[in-house]
Structure 1
Amino acid sequence: MNYRHAFHAGNFADCMKHALLVWLLRALAAKEKPFRVLDTHAGIGSYDLGGSEAERTGEWRKGIGRLLDTSGGPLADYVGLVRAAGAPAQYPGSPALIRALLRPQDQLLACELHPEDHATLRARFRGDRQVAIHHRDGYEALKALTPFPEKRGLVLVDPPFEQEGEFDRMAQGIALVGHRFRAGIQACWYPIKHRAPVRAFHAGLKESGVRDLVAAELWLREPTDPQRLNGCGLLVANPPWKFEEEGAAILAALLERLGEGEPGQGWAMTRIAEE
């Protein structure tokens, strides 16, 4: 309950997660049928990059701050949405980006457990009939709010990873949704500090029986320091057609703009389980 994303909004991990999220939402919207999105750890929706929290870390300057001049290529769609949301003064969190891409027939369910952040999020979307805000645990919401009545949509799981056992909870959640809502897309963010927890996470998913899993990863330095966020990943279940190809282009473009040439930096698009 102590984690506040305002210190980290717009950093390289947000850029990676949100650039891929935008692509996934565009893929969903390519079909006319309505879809629903569940954001399990939604935060407050938008962040002040000039505020004391963001200025204290300055992380956004090495993240979205390096991308705002993007005018073409695989990052253009994401960066255009961020600029439209007010960057560099404001950075849109996942609920704001999702809401920007909803069509009139689509819905967003956003969960936030932190009481103050929940109140802020609820106020932000008050009166919006396409958005429902829930004050509840995100993992509990996976069982309570899936499958969707529309029979299509996306589940975004983006916990702060400040508690022990987060990888295990995420794996259990992926298996739960994978078995009860097989048509749904899941996008689950995780940190890469060192490799052992990530290898165990992927191995557990292979044993879970969930099919069609792909891990998109970006790291800015060799992931050997367990005390430092060296990279991050997005585990995608049931990815849309061309995600591996076009997602790879997004990762490569991010590394080109955000990488600082440190030893061991790189990206990978890895299939964890076949269809």
Structure 2
Amino acid sequence: MFSYRHAFHAANHADVLKHITLLATLRHLQQKEPGITLIDTHAGAGLYRLDGDYSQKGAEAADGLFKLLEAADDLANLPEPVQDYLQQIGHFNSSGQARIYPGSPALMARLLRQDARDRLKLFEMHPTDSPVLAGNMAQLALGRAVQVSREDGFEALRKLLPPPASSSGSRRAMVLIDPSYEIKSDYAKVSSSIQDSLKRFATGTYLIWYPIIARPEAHELPRRLRTLANQARRSWLNATLAIGKGQAGDTGLSASGMFLINPPFTLAEQLRTALAMVGPALARGVGKGWQVETGSP
């Protein structure tokens, strides 16, 4: 049950898609004054060494972040979402070399507004990663703005929605759901969690990462999420990135998607611009490509 470690996959092509999308979404939400409750249901360790044994064993960053960095010679000429993504990574690597990779918790923590408007709730069940996450977040010295719990993120989400009202009376939340899907039941849990969340807090912004693999549950998940969004009369966005197959016999993940419910209205165009650069930069073989689909009530 606890065999999955994201450290083996940190900074791969799926992380590139996920974190470009995450940052662009949060940046847009923070354009409004009221605070936001940020929730990560499967937070992992928060920070990862790219020169450590875990990352180098799979070497997945070579087909993700490192390949993107090679293609990004001039930061100023990159699409804004890609530029922001690489600048955030640079913040955690003062030496100029990408040795540390910030996961979703670290990226969101860095963007918390310092006047205590925003709150970050992190959940991780892995017996090793959970205390590491707590230690990594403690180093950021953000106090009560960040809460780390060793708790099932699916169950915790039910208790957090609807979020508490801000001083202005508004309720805002952004939820990231990105389990490993190592267990088949995760697909059904994601669907059930979104269905319940939309009943509890229909106006929240929900980001769901999923793998694109040859498994019926994986193909069904984005279709199910689209149905739930349509039933709730909420807008949605589905962005996918496939880098194509590697060498013969390579069975690693080559494609993934980000499905959003109540996405920012600016996000589709931002992602199309970003993926028009990222897609070719990371492409390596047959099956490569990217797509951004949207729907509204």
- Provide TM-score, normalisation by structure 1: 0.92
Identity, % of aligned pairs? 34
Partner of residue 156, structure 2: 141
| SS of residue in 2 equivalent to 1:200 | helix
Gap change, CA 1:245 and 1:163, over 3 Å in 2: same
May I ask how many residue pairs the two structures share in their alignment?
271
Q: 1:215 aligns with which of 238, 244, 247?
A: 238
Structure 1: runs of 5+ lacking an equivalent = none
Contact 2:213/2:219 (CA < 8 Å) preserved in 1? no
Structure 2: runs of 5+ lacking an equivalent = 166-170
Partner of residue 82, structure 1: 89
Q: 1:93 aligns with which of 103, 107, 118?
A: 103
Residue by residue, what CA displacement relative to the aligned partner does 1:135-159 show, whole Å, maximum 9, x if unpaired? 1011111201122114112100010
Gap change, CA 1:170 and 1:28, over 3 Å in 2: same
Shift in Å, 1:227: 5.0
Q: Which amino acid aligns with 1:168?
A: A
Q: Which amino acid aligns with 2:196?
A: L
Gap change, CA 1:175 and 1:227, over 3 Å in 2: farther
Contact 1:20/1:250 (CA < 8 Å) preserved in 2? no
Shift in Å, 1:64: 0.8
Q: 2:129 aligns with which of 117, 141, 146?
A: 117
C-alpha separation between the residues in 1 aligned to 2:222 and 2:4? 25
| SS of residue in 2 equivalent to 1:140 | helix
Worse overlay, 176-185 or 203-212: 203-212
C-alpha separation between the residues in 2 aligned to 1:17 and 1:113? 21
C-alpha separation between the residues in 2 aligned to 1:206 and 1:95? 26
C-alpha separation between the residues in 1 aligned to 2:179 and 2:296? 26
C-alpha separation between the residues in 2 aligned to 1:255 and 1:196? 25
Q: 1:174 aligns with which of 180, 194, 210?
A: 194
Shift in Å, 1:199: 3.8
**C-alpha RMSD over aligned residues:** 1.9
Partner of residue 26, structure 2: 25
C-alpha separation between the residues in 1 aligned to 2:125 and 2:280? 36
The question of 1:257 aligning with 2:281 is answered yes
Partner of residue 236, structure 1: 260
Partner of residue 158, structure 1: 178
C-alpha separation between the residues in 1 aligned to 2:7 and 2:104? 13
